[in-house]
Structure 1
């Protein structure tokens, strides 16, 4: 006997028979075969009372044995309501039909279609009854399994349809805000741009960035940050004209395209959005935050067709970056003539070239002599940087150093120059062990702690005397981060290196910083040297710089010395060293220490600079 057969025998069987002898015979027969839960009903009301408690679990009722002539019972209606339904509540019926009782059960002679009934003539043949009961219970079980499988399949299909619909939505939309995502936005924008190019319509793209959004994530967590983004998206959406294309394309970045809107209309809407966000207050717990946005605007120029949405988004994003760099909570309109735009284009061009130069060693050093004006001998050399292009052309630092400073590549260049300058000194022959170098460092060099370790490690490995190195830092860079810079300079000077303050006199507080800044040399800015011979004011200023530097124990170096006459005047004023084309142009080879004297003598055709 299977487990299923045993389970069937535990189900409720109702014997609806008013003939007590016949009812008892049926009960005895079924119990003898193991059916345990058998209950009797002598009329239609009792059938209802027995079935009623199982209204929530009809599967617990096995079947009904029904005498067709049962008092107070419409047998045919009961069969049709219990045995003909496709629902899980169906109950098979064995119909006991007296030959003297006339009823229409011909269609229920055997179970077929959706009707589970079986007619047996009375007096009851027990064998036929047992077969009918077993057969109908088995069919009931089979139908229940089939209905459960159909229901499960329907549920699975419904769930799959829901998942498919959700996936289709997520493919085109941002899950957090419900706005279009970047790929969907670009796809629809491309269609709009193609249409606008044909019809010569206006249009504007607003790139909206939430200012300092990362602070919310850091202070309150990502969940609060997500809630802020949702509320801001709803806030901005209320200001957006119907039919506009609004999308979230980054963590805290949104794009809004306004079709057939002029630059002025776009700017007006941007100001409305900015004002609305400025007045928005975001609460989390007892804390209240305010928010602001930076907005960049790129417009369609009817004279120039735009075919790719990425280009328009890029322009709007660049404008947004300019808005952020100009104080945030700002609006900026993109213009190809904007100096900032041209500067950004240069950055895009130069960054890969600089990276490649660092990686493939396309940088090299040249050296310009710094001459001691008292006797004309070379004191040391300033290290200058050059780049070699792929076509072997010379690239001067004024073309790539500003880009490196803006893009953060300057630190790698600083370290490259330091390491290669020390390697150069280490490779010189013993008779040139007196040669010293002055190395220019960027304004950010002293903000990186690895500069100190690089210098220290390189000196230790190369056995180069630290006193042969002088590091130059501009006055502007020193002032920008005064305390950090002074702290780092003191540590590097402790290794034995020297320092020079470059471009001295260019700032407003030069003498004040000179008093407290730990440098050995002061390089007088070239603006005071170029016209020194003809400008008495420059002479007075240079003289004052020399006197103050001397009293503070610092030596002076004049840049841009381009004639012997200027060198003589600087010597007369008391400047210690001179540097410029009068003594030699930057070169990869070092000059002999007496060449400077020969150059000046040839220039003036008389002994110069020698006591």
Structure 2
């Protein structure tokens, strides 16, 4: 048997009375490569030698001991030290005299690490037994190591399983319920609510401007803030509640069997305690506020799923933020803002579908020279096809598109299709010009200018035939950015008109600095112009200022023929309204409107048998 070097370096103890025999055993072991030898004259010496190996017996080999070694009971020592349990699994070779009997029963039953050998042994016999016991001890040690490792792995796995089970239902940072766990409790509560007709309320708490602290101070500080907020909310609560963290800075509190009044009182207490809290990090102190939305049971609509209740609380929280933050808002189906959000949900897929399936189309309304009756240009308006060939007007979908981020797509669609319309006109209509309405968000879209450039290059349409209309309020809201974009588009050759002038109380100073070619006077000054001298004074002042600034004027909402001579006398050059034609898909044949046609009062009335639907 070839032993490894590591086994040959194990500690071997030789304990005997016969010095010649001890020397002979030593020589045999040295010749075989065993060099880590120690000697003992009594049992106490053996205990002294192995004491340093008590905690780790891996380097301890075996003991060769005389059966009559003084200083103790050799049999008891062998039995106790060779045990695996409570022992160190130390092998023993007991040297016996020729006259001795076999090992007694107690030593034999102690295991396979104790062997007896007559003192008259042969060298090969001793060496084989030494090597065998060292191998057995090493295998026993390796087996115990594997068992300990397995036990440790099992314990670690159980710990991980327990942690995973906890994390499945709880937030790791705060120890609160997570959303899934909260929904399970709400689901059970809803079932009890149906059976027992109990009340209940869900509070959704959203920290105001938490992202600012997160960005400025980092994640560690933000986490510390969350922990402090949770502790503060817990301290404020006076009744049992299901408390969950459902997002980075959003928390839900679900109260069972409470009235709406009680829920609001709890919400106000939490809001007030957070408002009074000061969060300090370094030299900076932050004021912490929260917007809180409440959804209560029962509601007008039966709630089946927990997500519905959370959604209602979330909508109420959104309204709290929209109305100034740091406040409590109760969900109400009749809220105008709630209905508006439901309306958005309804219209968004219809708008997307219209963009993909080409359900939008353009209509054109003429802008007339008030002196000659010649069509100056046409204003382009968008419509949507509805069910059964119905027509949906922009008042229905444009506000939704602006709120939901779809208005840029509509702006681009209108620009591209208006230019395509001009490109498709026959040569004899190459003088037709269009005024294209742009939303107030158009100049925040970086793709507008390159799209316009590309479309003009590909279509060969003269940019001079295109005027873009932007409302006064939209222009003033972002004056510098809008003016820069207008200058870039005008550099291509396009024109600009300031729509609804006067509606937003725009100062003439803005008009002086704004690079537009047309000023469209808002219809509120035109509708009653015949009978209202104040409107006449205002319109005249607008016309005079526009003329001095080199801008042309267009009067909107012309609905009666009597207003035409008044507008001309006030210096207004162009007019637009249902008197001349409602928006339609065809252009006016001949490009001229006979103004004398509107002198007949009966014909005028026939023009206004419908409502304005721009």
Instruction: With the length of structure 1 as denominator, give the TM-score of the two structures.
Output: 0.91
Question: Cα deviation per residue 1:383-438 (whole Å; 9 max; x = unaligned)?
Answer: 11101135432110000001111112111111111111112112111111111111
Whether contact under 8 Å (1:557, 1:579) holds in the other structure is yes
- What residue is the counterpart of 2:261 in the other structure? 264
**CA displacement at 1:336 relative to structure 2:** 0.5
Equivalent of residue 245 in structure 1, options 242, 245, 256: 242
**CA displacement at 1:97 relative to structure 2:** 4.2
- What secondary structure does 2:594 align onto? helix
- What residue is the counterpart of 1:178 in the other structure? 175
Whole-angstrom CA distance in 2 between matches of 1:483 and 1:188: 53
Task: Please show how residues 386-425 of structure 1 align to structure 2 within 5 Å.
Answer: 386-389=383-386, 391-425=388-422
Whether contact under 8 Å (2:207, 2:290) holds in the other structure is yes
1:382–1:489 Cα change, 3 Å: same
**CA displacement at 1:267 relative to structure 2:** 2.1
- What secondary structure does 1:351 align onto? helix
- What residue is the counterpart of 1:2 in the other structure? 2
**CA displacement at 1:175 relative to structure 2:** 2.7
Task: Please show how residues 162-561 of structure 1 align to structure 2 within 5 Å.
Answer: 162-241=159-238, 243-301=240-298, 304-389=301-386, 391-561=388-558
**CA displacement at 1:330 relative to structure 2:** 2.6
| Larger CA deviation: 215-224 vs 248-257 | 215-224
- What residue is the counterpart of 1:40 in the other structure? 39
**CA displacement at 1:364 relative to structure 2:** 0.8
Whole-angstrom CA distance in 1 between matches of 2:212 and 2:409: 29
Whole-angstrom CA distance in 2 between matches of 1:573 and 1:88: 116
- What residue is the counterpart of 1:74 in the other structure? 73
Whole-angstrom CA distance in 2 between matches of 1:118 and 1:599: 134
- What residue is the counterpart of 2:609 in the other structure? none
Whether contact under 8 Å (1:85, 1:114) holds in the other structure is no
**CA displacement at 1:83 relative to structure 2:** 0.9
Question: Cα deviation per residue 1:170-229 (whole Å; 9 max; x = unaligned)?
Answer: 222223333222222222221222222222222111222222222233323334333333
1:497–1:131 Cα change, 3 Å: closer
**CA displacement at 1:242 relative to structure 2:** 5.8
- What secondary structure does 1:152 align onto? helix
Whole-angstrom CA distance in 2 between matches of 1:150 and 1:455: 76
Whole-angstrom CA distance in 1 between matches of 2:591 and 2:283: 77
- What secondary structure does 1:289 align onto? strand
Whole-angstrom CA distance in 2 between matches of 1:330 and 1:601: 58
- What secondary structure does 1:596 align onto? coil
Task: Please show how residues 151-166 of structure 1 align to structure 2 within 5 Å.
Answer: 151-166=148-163
Whole-angstrom CA distance in 2 between matches of 1:206 and 1:498: 53
Whole-angstrom CA distance in 1 between matches of 2:9 and 2:587: 109
CA RMSD of superposed structures (Å): 2.7
- What residue is the counterpart of 1:89 in the other structure? 88
Whole-angstrom CA distance in 2 between matches of 1:238 and 1:439: 59
- What residue is the counterpart of 2:64 in the other structure? 65
Whole-angstrom CA distance in 1 between matches of 2:603 and 2:240: 85
Whether contact under 8 Å (1:246, 1:255) holds in the other structure is yes
| Larger CA deviation: 93-102 vs 573-582 | 93-102
- What residue is the counterpart of 1:31 in the other structure? 30
Question: Cα deviation per residue 1:54-85 (whole Å; 9 max; x = unaligned)?
Answer: 33432212111222322211223312320123
**CA displacement at 1:258 relative to structure 2:** 1.8
Whole-angstrom CA distance in 2 between matches of 1:329 and 1:148: 61
- Kindly indicate whether residue 573 of structure 2 is the aligned counterpart of residue 576 of structure 1: yes
| Larger CA deviation: 326-335 vs 433-442 | 326-335
- What secondary structure does 2:414 align onto? helix
Whole-angstrom CA distance in 1 between matches of 2:112 and 2:297: 72
**CA displacement at 1:500 relative to structure 2:** 1.7
Whole-angstrom CA distance in 2 between matches of 1:304 and 1:594: 57
Question: Cα deviation per residue 1:95-152 (whole Å; 9 max; x = unaligned)?
Answer: 234577899832323xx66562223355556555444433322221221111111111
- Kindly indicate whether residue 79 of structure 2 is the aligned counterpart of residue 107 of structure 1: no
Whether contact under 8 Å (2:14, 2:63) holds in the other structure is yes
Whether contact under 8 Å (1:385, 1:397) holds in the other structure is yes
- What secondary structure does 2:236 align onto? coil
Whether contact under 8 Å (1:200, 1:302) holds in the other structure is no
Whether contact under 8 Å (1:88, 1:147) holds in the other structure is no
Give unmatched runs, 5+ long, in structure 1.
none
Question: Cα deviation per residue 1:358-381 (whole Å; 9 max; x = unaligned)?
Answer: 122211100011111112121111
Whole-angstrom CA distance in 1 between matches of 2:600 and 2:73: 136
1:591–1:3 Cα change, 3 Å: farther
| Larger CA deviation: 487-496 vs 141-150 | 487-496
Whole-angstrom CA distance in 2 between matches of 1:297 and 1:114: 74
- What secondary structure does 2:364 align onto? strand
Whole-angstrom CA distance in 2 between matches of 1:76 and 1:599: 137
- What residue is the counterpart of 2:610 in the other structure? none
Whether contact under 8 Å (1:108, 1:115) holds in the other structure is no
Whole-angstrom CA distance in 1 between matches of 2:224 and 2:351: 42
Whether contact under 8 Å (1:440, 1:471) holds in the other structure is yes
| Larger CA deviation: 584-593 vs 299-308 | 299-308
- What residue is the counterpart of 2:146 in the other structure? 149
1:308–1:463 Cα change, 3 Å: same
1:524–1:564 Cα change, 3 Å: same
- What secondary structure does 1:209 align onto? strand
Whole-angstrom CA distance in 1 between matches of 2:209 and 2:475: 28
**CA displacement at 1:156 relative to structure 2:** 1.4
1:576–1:453 Cα change, 3 Å: same
